[in-house]
Amino acid sequence: MTTVLYDLPGPRTRRRHRYFGLAGTVVLLALAGWTLTLLFRTHQFTAAKWTAFTYQGIQELLLTGLGNTLRAFGLAAAGSLLLGGVLAAGRLSAHWPLRWVCTLLVEFFRAMPVLVMIFFIYVALHAEPLVALVSGLTLYNGSVLAEVFRSGVGAVERGQGEAAYALGMRKTQVMVHVLAPQAVRAMLPAIISQLVVALKDTSLGFLITYEEFLHAGKLIASNLDYDLPFIPVVMIVSPIYIGMCMLLSWLATWAARRQRRNPRVEAGEVAAPEPATLRAEDHRARG
């Protein structure tokens, strides 16, 4: 079934693909070797530049910053999903005043830079750093997710909703029980991608003195007394950010597989009938 819509590559095409893959691998290895050479040349792997990270105070500072990052992300993710669902429902409403108000809010917050909203809430409204960071992330990512939800519901076949209406279901029932469950499968990759953006944007909190993970790394680097102190800090902070984003992607893949493996629609295995059963059924059919 995977080869129906295109032709299988021939020997020359497969050979060309292997050459391209080999060339790309060589380029990546060359870049990695060049980067390692620069790091060794600037003495970034000496013990003196890494001993500070064995101190308990620095480890506690990093763990506190990581906890604050996860806290801000959790609040912003929940708020974004809730706000996105509300705005999407408003944009899909049959009442035009509500639809236009939600459309205006979505377009406004989606066009505003995240940093501008965070600074406005922090400075003009005198909010706490955590409140300003979470509010800015929620308004921006919620407006983007509203469009994701609306497009996901619109991507469901029109006949699904029409059949549900023909059965006497109300619009809310059609949305909750028919359209939304089918749209989630199409929306899930985009939702996770936007949550990854929200996770990375929590690093903007250090600009308003919120003590998140990047802010903790900045404090550590500013108190180290050797050249280029930010490089070891970046080499510790960056893999953790990458790991958290990869974890979100893995959760999205796991959730997508769980949805595909729905026991309510999978047919159970039926054992083949015994020869005696076949003969009995054939005898009854002739009689």
CA 189 to mean position of chain CA atoms: 7
pLDDT, tens digit, for every residue of 37-75?
988 888 888 887 888 888 898 899 999 999 999 999 999
Find the range with the poorest average confidence among 85-89, 150-154, 202-206.
150-154
Per-residue tokens: 61: 């500072």
Contact 202/241 with Cβ under 8 angstroms? Answer: no
Give the global pTM. Answer: 0.77
Bigger pLDDT: 256 vs 180 = 180
Residue that is written with structure tokens 């609040």 in the block: 75
CA 170 to centroid of chain Cα atoms: 32
Q: Give residue 81's pLDDT.
A: 93
What is the structure's pLDDT at 166? 79
pLDDT at 163 over 60: yes
pLDDT score recorded for residue 130: 94
Token couple for 18: 């292997």
What's residue 70's pLDDT? 95
Of the candidates 128, 198, 187, the one whose C-alpha atom is nearest the C-alpha of residue 153 is: 187
CATH number 1.10.1740.10 is the correct assignment for the domain at 52-258: no
Q: Where are the domains of the chain?
A: 52-258
Whether the predicted pLDDT of 217 surpasses 90: no
Binned at pLDDT 50, 70 and 90, residue 1 comes out as very low
The first and second tokens of residue 255, run together, are: 């959730």
By C-alpha distance, which of 207, 155, 208, 180 is closest to 81? 180
Three state DSSP letters for the chain: CCCCCCCCCCHHHHHHHHHHHHHHHHHHHHHHHHHHHHHHHCCCCCHHHCHHHHCHHHHHHHHHHHHHHHHHHHHHHHHHHHHHHHHHHHHCCCCHHHHHHHHHHHHHHHHCCHHHHHHHHHHHCCCCHHHHHHHHHHHHHHHHHHHHHHHHHHCCCHHHHHHHHHCCCCHHHHHHHHHHHHHHHHHHHHHHHHHHHHHHHHHHHHHHCCCCHHHHHHHHHHCCCCCCCHHHHHHHHHHHHHHHHHHHHHHHHHHHHHHHCCCCCCCCCCCCCCHHHHHHHHHHHHC
Q: Over the stretch 93-135, which tens digit does the pLDDT of each residue have? A: 888 889 999 999 999 999 999 999 999 999 999 999 999 999 9
Residue 265 predicted with pLDDT over 50: no
**Residue corresponding to tokens 């279901």:** 169
The pLDDT assigned to 93 comes to: 82
